[in-house]
Amino acid sequence: MTEAGRGGGTVWLTGLPSAGKTTIAHALAARLAEAGRRTEVLDGDEIREFLSAGLGFSREDRHTNVQRIGFVAELLASHGVTVLVPVIAPYADSREAVRKRHERAGTPYVEVHVATPVEVCSERDVKGLYARQAAGEISGLTGVDDPYEAPADPDLRIAAHEQGVAESAAAVHTLLTERGLA
């Protein structure tokens, strides 16, 4: 049995700011921990404070950020950890490169699109970014005046505005169980 076969894998939750990626990731982590899985959440904000300190939000910097996170996720996952990654990853080619890295290593990879519409995200506006963009204080906000390339064919798409957090976490958990990852 390979290392990957011991049950690790990466679950990338992509979606707009305030879509619910982080909230769902932590709810899922709690479920997985309860089931005895070794689990890590690679939080985007934390990563940007340390591993990606100094990177901004240009296309190039976002790509670099996503590749670094993909590298760490694969490493952890290859040692049996279920790694949850609630990070926007707005570009399809960046996400594809992360998937390819996992495929090359034989490490399971699951892409979940947290598909909350921008109208709902901007209402939630957890960090006040949508308001700041509307006020002209910032620009380059994903989904508003910066690109978000929605996954064409994710492993799972969640309408996270139409169901509760627990239901979304359960939906991902079910997929992981089907794939032998939970």
Ligand X SMILES: Nc1ncnc2c1ncn2[C@@H]1O[C@H](COP(=O)(O)OP(=O)(O)O)[C@@H](O)[C@H]1O
Ligand Y SMILES: Nc1ncnc2c1ncn2[C@@H]1O[C@H](COP(=O)(O)OS(=O)(=O)O)[C@@H](OP(=O)(O)O)[C@H]1O
Q: Contact residues for ligand X (CB under 6 A)?
A: 15, 17-24, 86, 124, 126, 160, 164-165, 168
CA dihedral 67, 23, 115, 88 (to 10 degrees): -20
Q: How far is the CB of 41 from ligand Y (least distance, A)?
A: 12
16 is in an annotated binding site: yes
Query: What whole-number distance in Å separates Cα of residue 40 and Cα of residue 12?
Result: 12
Query: Residue 142 binds what, of ligand X, ligand Y, none (CB under 5 to 8 Å, by partner type)?
Result: ligand Y
Query: Given candidates 7, 11, 13, 18, which one binds ligand Y under the rule CB under 6 A?
Result: 18
Contact in structure between 15 and 111 (CB atoms under 8 Å): no
Half-sphere exposure of 161 (CA within 13 A, CB side): 14
The partner in contact with residue 168, picked from ligand Y, ligand X, none with C-beta cut-offs of 5 to 8 angstroms by kind, is: ligand X
Q: 90: helix, coil or strand? A: coil
Closest CA to 80 of 179, 31, 10: 10
- Please identify, using beta-carbon distances, which residue of 7 and 86 lies nearer to ligand X: 86
Residue 89's binding partner among ligand X, ligand Y, none (Cβ under 5 to 8 angstroms by kind) is: ligand Y
Residue 140 makes contact with ligand Y by CB under 6 A = yes
Judged by CB under 6 A, the residue of 10, 22, 78, 168 near ligand Y is 22
Closest CA to 158 of 19, 10, 8: 19
Dihedral sign for Cα 97, 73, 68, 15, please: positive
Q: Residue 98 binds which entry of ligand X, ligand Y, none, with Cβ cut-offs from 5 to 8 Å by kind?
A: none
Positions at the binding site for ATP: 15-22
The contact set with ligand Y (CB under 6 A) reads 17-18, 22, 44, 48, 57, 62, 65-66, 87-90, 127, 129, 140-142, 146
